[in-house]
Chains A and B, each alone.
Chain A
Amino acid sequence: MFRYILLFIINLFVITSIVAADLKPVTIGIVVPIQHRALDEMVDGFKKELIKDYPNKIKFVVQNAQGDINLQRSIIQKFNQDETKLIVAVARPAMQMASTMVTKKPIISLAAALYEEQRQQRSIKNITNVDDESAVIPGINFFFATVPDLHKVTIVHTSADKIMSQLVTFKKMAQEHRIEVQDIMIQQLSELYSASSRIAEDSQAVFILKDNLIASGINTLINIANNRKLPLIASDGATVESGAAFAVGFKEEQIGAEGAKIAARVLKGEDVSTIPVKFLDKKFLFINKEAVQKQNLNLNRIIANAKKYKYEVVVYGVRK
């Protein structure tokens, strides 16, 4: 009799501990380098999707380094040392630091310009990336195809790494279309106003890449665009919502969601180094009706082109 009771108690312990281990939440550490709405949307998309894809309890720890590299290092150090199972690095600065400091935990980076060849070159490969740059070339093509009779355009950009390489692509494509490019580069937000007043008289449109710094000061450019009836074309949805005419791009939540799908696979046991860099394919065309009107563009033509390229259209209406 006594033996059966002992056995029962032992079984109870074993089952409880198994269940408890299962019940114990898995901690995901998300490090965001700066305060920015687009990055927040990526994180939201990630969280929502991961809850769907991974059945066990998840604890999300999201920490923002506020642009301070010491802080960023401390955050990543903590994730590296505590019970965090998986680290999500949002955007390039976080990705770079995480991949240097963290060698024994899996890292998933979002929108970080980590390319497959680079990943292969590393000796320690515990990182993979969700790439968001594949909309750049289509976006530029769409721009050239949609705004009629372009001879000269202006591109306003910062000196961020990703941007500089995309700039080269832009110039090359413009050359192929025989379009002259006016290149305006700013390094700080305060230069945006004087930069916008330098836009050439004969420029027919202003183009911006997915540039965080410019996005934070976009109102300056929007005012100029509306006043001069100059089309302002962007590369991400938030900027269109603020007042750019249109943009071809991805939804930030989407980037996060794809990252979450990879995260779920890693949590279920897959080795992150075997998962290749994910390229998003579903592109969206974001349109701002009011801006299109103010900047003298033809709304129907834009939508027709979007249908041609099979982009899902997202319309932002008149803002109050």
Chain B
Amino acid sequence: MNLILSTLQQSLLFLPLVIGVYISYRVLAVVDLTVDGTFVLGAAVFAKLVIVNNVDQYVSLVIAVIAGAVIGVLVALMQKGVRINSLLASILMVFMLYSINFKIMDKPNLGFLENKTILMNLQTNNEYLLLLLIVGMALLLLMIFVRLFGSKLGLLLRSYGSNVKLLKSLGKSPTLLLSLGLGFSNGLAAFCGALTAQINGYADLNMGLGMALTAIGAVVMGQHLIGKIIPNNKFNAVLDLSGCVVGGFIYFLAMNLFIHIGIDPVYLKLILGLILVFFLATANYSKRAVGYDSF
């Protein structure tokens, strides 16, 4: 498989996380770094159930996603119920998840020795089929979320990010919406973590470090690029979600290119960071659409 195909595989595998962060960062306009922890939680729960408890891999995957969603809801409650600032609440949760994840795995690292899972199997035996499966998963995810954002629920979630106070005065419950949104977001992160653990061959306590930031970078880059190519000031789910795909792809493409050329990976983070600074500086990151007064 060549450079493009591996990049495709990596970035589409990462897509659930990017969509999750898109929901919290762009749709709800909330800074939620919890995904660093829920990513690992998904991997940990999945690995523990499949390796140690011998649970069916599909059931384990569902349980892992639910675990992530529950954490998302808890973070929402921390923000609304106990009135903790969103950034703080998410960092606190990541902190707590470190212990929780350790307790779940009982060791800092759980390895899949045998090819117990479908992704691992394909990786060993048929890489093209694996890519196809991942592409299929990504397309399914995209279709689900395009539907979601076109629905009444999608409208409500977007309105949360637009004007929470107004939403409250219209009689809606911000707590409920935030819980739903962060539930989706962290459930997706857990899903991504479980899949990644299969591809890597292990679940590791520290595998989530920096994921949130990488995902935010991908979201911002993607939205910005799509916005330049197809300018649009109304909300368009297809465009925004394409932005997620594009952003992730560009990130991994840059990474793989640099390695291919032979640039010392030490500089990789610096360069990627600078690119992100550029995008964040020129992007409108407070509210989504572009209007007269948002420069």
- Which A residues lie at the B interface, using CB under 8 A? 35, 63-71, 73-75, 77-78, 81, 92-93, 96-97, 99-101, 103, 118, 121-124, 159-161, 164, 187
Contacts and interface: CB of A to CB of B under 8 A. Distances in A.
Nearest to B109: A161
A124 B202 CA distance: 17
B113 A63 contact: no
Contacts of B124: 103, 124
A133 B120 CA distance: 29
5 residue pairs, one from A and one from B, having the closest CB atoms: A100-B201, A161-B109, A96-B202, A159-B108, A77-B6
B252 A78 contact: no
Contacts of B111: 96
Contacts of A161: 107-109
Nearest to A160: B108
Nearest to B256: A74
A101 B13 CA distance: 15
Contacts of B210: 68
Given A69-B207, A118-B113, A187 B98 contact: yes
A69 B98 contact: no
A225 B6 CA distance: 50
A66 B269 contact: yes
A100 B269 contact: no
Given A65-B265, A78-B260, A100-B200, A121 B2 contact: no
B255 interface: yes
Interface string B201-222: 1101111011000100000000
Given A100-B112, A118-B113, 12 more contacts: A63-B265, A64-B266, A66-B266, A66-B269, A69-B200, A71-B265, A73-B200, A93-B109, A99-B201, A100-B199, A101-B200, A160-B109
Contacts of B113: 118, 121-122
Interface size range on B against A: 35 or more
B114 A73 contact: no
A75 B257 CA distance: 11
Interface in B86-123: 98, 102, 107-109, 111-115, 120, 123
A97 B255 contact: no
Given A66-B269, A69-B200, A159-B102, A81 B2 contact: yes
A261 B136 CA distance: 45
Interface of B: 1-2, 6, 10, 14, 98, 102, 107-109, 111-115, 120, 123-124, 196, 199-202, 204-207, 209-210, 214, 252, 255-256, 259-260, 264-266, 268-269
Contacts of B114: 121-123
A317 B201 CA distance: 44
B265 A64 contact: yes
Given A67-B209, A68-B269, A164-B108, A74 B200 contact: no
Given A63-B265, A122-B114, A70 B107 contact: no
28 contacts: A64-B264, A66-B269, A68-B209, A68-B269, A69-B207, A71-B259, A71-B265, A71-B268, A74-B255, A77-B6, A81-B2, A96-B111, A96-B201, A99-B201, A100-B123, A100-B200, A100-B201, A100-B202, A101-B123, A101-B199, A101-B200, A121-B114, A123-B114, A124-B124, A159-B108, A159-B205, A161-B108, A164-B108
Nearest to A32: B265
Contacts of B259: 63, 71, 74-75, 78
A74 B252 contact: yes
A70 B2 contact: no
A64 B268 CA distance: 11
Contact of B115 (A69, A73, A101, A123): A123
